[in-house]
Structure 1
């Protein structure tokens, strides 16, 4: 019976060549993910200078140089806003937008708030200045910051700072903390 198995096997293997290489052919080489991502980025159409960040300039609330800013999202406790206004909630980060263009200030503000949210920061200070413009109109950056902060999803409220922290040229901004749910609203 063993001879039958061997002869059957030999018959079946007739015409088959023995492989001289001891490594298997795995097909085509694996694609380099980094190179593929780089090619995709280079192939995509880029529109320089346009950043979709959710902060609109279509309607800007004009404010005066000495106007005090105050805004709270629905559901934010008055006591929390009172503490913020009195400077009793310590700010853990600060951003100075003095002298920047509106576009640059917007990019920096968006990135700053994103980083503060990522780090679970409760309160930050944003200095926008209050310089009146040469054309006699209201302060440009102050008006834009006032508008943008109302639109940002992580901002619970803001108020002008105490004089020692910049007065009406700066705002304390209270941020939502995602990991400590239930404590902010």
Structure 2
């Protein structure tokens, strides 16, 4: 290197500090065990306030942990549902209901759909989990989600996800959109 090049290089790297470790920062935070335990305990507490949202728990459709879910509202094209099942409709929003009480999951799901409507989301993924229970009972959140989605006016159809997106522990949901910017339903 010539003296001019060396001085230019030194001025360009002035203030740069040498890295003291060789580990990459993945940006993924570690699980906060105390917060998780608090959330689990809170999930077992039943709240007495009742929110009227149009979702009924009177007749919950029991489903098994490995059961594939599929439902389409009358009038939804079979081809659109095939694309949804094949994972060809990209999901624009995702919600995880793991570890929540049924009441909390219901509230979060209702709020999620309100936000999805506001944002004009066409397809979303909801992870309900499989909840393979040792007492032999059916998975609660999965069964309730299966029932609620059939009742929600914004839901056109849903199907279990591909394995890479959660398999039978999650569903792709096709949502109604209002007509904005020339888009149709």
* Other-structure match for 1:97: 97
Indicate the residue corresponding to 1:171 in structure 2.
Answer: 171
- In 2, Cα distance between equivalents of 1:183 and 1:65: 36
User: Take 2:104 and 2:52, find their aligned partners in 1: how far apart are those partners?
Assistant: 14
Q: For residues 122-161 of structure 1, what are the structure 2 equivalents within 5 Å?
A: 122-161=122-161
Q: What do the CA deviations read for 1:63-85 (whole angstroms, capped 9, x no partner)?
A: 00000000000000000000000
Whose radius of gyration is greater, 1 or 2?
1
Equivalent residue number for residue 32 of structure 1: none
Closer/same/farther in 2, CA of residues 158 and 48 from structure 1, 3 Å limit: same
Unmatched 5+ stretches in structure 1: 1-46
1:123 to partner: Cα distance: 0.3
Check the 8 A contact 1:120/1:179 in 2, yes or no: no
| Partners of 1:133 and 1:140 within 8 A in 2 | no
In the aligned structure 2, how far is the partner of 1:134 from the partner of 1:53?
A: 32
| Aligned structure 1 segments of 4 or more residues deviating by more than 4 angstroms | none
C-alpha distance in 2 between matches for 1:135 and 1:65: 13
Provide the residue aligned with 2:76 in structure 1: 76
| C-alpha contact 1:122 1:175 (8 A) present in aligned 2 | yes
Deviations along 1:5-38, one digit per CA (max 9) or x if unpaired, are xxxxxxxxxxxxxxxxxxxxxxxxxxxxxxxxxx
SS at match of 1:83: helix
CA distance in 2: counterparts of 1:54 and 1:149, whole angstroms: 11
Q: Residue 9 of structure 1 aligns with which residue?
A: none
- Say how many residue pairs are matched: 138
Instruction: Give the distance between the partners of 1:48 and 1:115, measured in 2 at CA.
Output: 25
Deviations, residues 98-126 of structure 1 (Å, cap 9, x unaligned):
01000000000000011101111000000
CA RMSD after TM alignment: 1.6
